[in-house]
Amino acid sequence: MAEPEGPLARPRVDAADRELGVRHPVLSHGFVALIDYMGNDDAIVQAARVSYGRGTKTARDDRGLIRYLMRHQHTTPFEMVEYKFLVRLPIFVARQWVRHRTASLNEVSARYSVLEDEYEIPPPEEVRHQSTRNRQGRGDPLPSDVVNAFRTDLERVSRDAYASYQRALEAGVARETARLLLPVAYYTQWYWKIDLHNLFHFLLLRLDPHAQEEIRLFAAEVDRLARLVCPIAFEAFEEFQLRALTLTQREQVAVRALLEGRTPKEACAQAGLDLTRPDGQPLKTGEGPEFLEKLERLRPAR
C-alpha cells in the first residue's frame, strides 16, 4: 500500500485536550491526570484498514469496524492508541496496580526524594469484616467501636512513623534506608503509559466489583478520561467485554437445561455445577454459585 502523501496531522480530540494536566481527586490525597495521548478512534480504524486494504470503508463504517474488532478480539489495532497518566495513589493501591506489567511507569523514588506527610485513612464505611466469599476482600459492616479504634490506630501509627522517618533523615540516615519506616498507607506518585488494548484489560479487572474499592475509584477516573479519546472503542469495550457474560462449557449445559424447563438447582445438578458441600451445607463460592450470580445479572431490574 502506498504511503500517504504530504504532512500528517496528529489526531486531536478537543474534549481530551481540555483535560490534559488537570488533576482529578481520588481518595484523600490522590489524583489522576491525563498527561498525553497518541491516536484516537480514527487511528484504530486506520490501522485495521492497513490490514484489510483499500476499498473497505464503503463496506463497513468506522463504528461497525471497531465493534467488529472488539467482538472478534482483533486486538492489534487498539494498540495503536496510547495514554500517559500522572497518578498519585497510596502505596497499598500501587502494589496492586503495578501487577499490570503491560505498561511503562516511572515512580517517584524515595531514594532521591523525601516523601510528603500524606497517608490514607479509609472512611468508616470502608472498614468492614473480612469477606466470607472473597478471601482478599471486605464483607459485612463492623461495630462502630471497632471501626473507630482501627482508624485511630492507623492515624497514630502513620503520624509516629513519619516522625521517626524525619528523625532518621535528620540524623543522617540515607533516604533509601529511612523510607523503610513508612507504612503502605503513605502516598507515592508515578507516570503511567499504556496502550488501549492493555488499558481495556486493566479496566476489566479493576472496575470489577471484586476489586478493592480504592483501586476501583482510580480505575473509574482513568476510564472516564480515557474514553474521551476513543468514545467508540469504549462503547464497544463496555458492550462486548465489561458488561458481557461468558458461559463455560458446563454453564452452557445448564442454560440448555433451563430452556427445557428445569429449575436453576436442577440445571446445576445436570451440568455438574455443585451448589453444596459434601456435608450438605450450601457453597458460598465456586462454579455453581458463580453461575447463579450470572443468572441474577440477567434478571430484569427491580
pLDDT of residue 3: 53
The Cα 87–Cα 190 span in angstroms is 6
pLDDT of residue 270: 96
pLDDT of residue 2: 47
pLDDT of residue 59: 41
Query: What pLDDT digit, counting tens, does each position of 200-259 carry?
Result: 999 999 999 889 999 999 999 999 999 999 999 999 999 999 999 999 999 999 999 999
pLDDT of residue 52: 56
The Cα 94–Cα 100 span in angstroms is 10
pTM: 0.90
pLDDT of residue 50: 80
Q: Can 60 be counted among the known catalytic residues?
A: no
List the grid coordinates of 194. 499504556
List strand residue ranges (DSSP E) for 208-287, in order: none
pLDDT of residue 43: 93
Q: At 216, which amino acid appears? A: R
Radius of gyration of the CA atoms of the chain, in A: 24
Q: Which DSSP category does 29 fall into?
A: T
Asked whether the beta carbons of 200 and 105 are under 8 A apart, the reply is: no
Q: Which residue in the list 151, 206, 250, 302 is annotated as catalytic?
A: 206
Segments in the chain below pLDDT 70: 1-8, 51-60, 301-302
The Cα 78–Cα 43 span in angstroms is 8
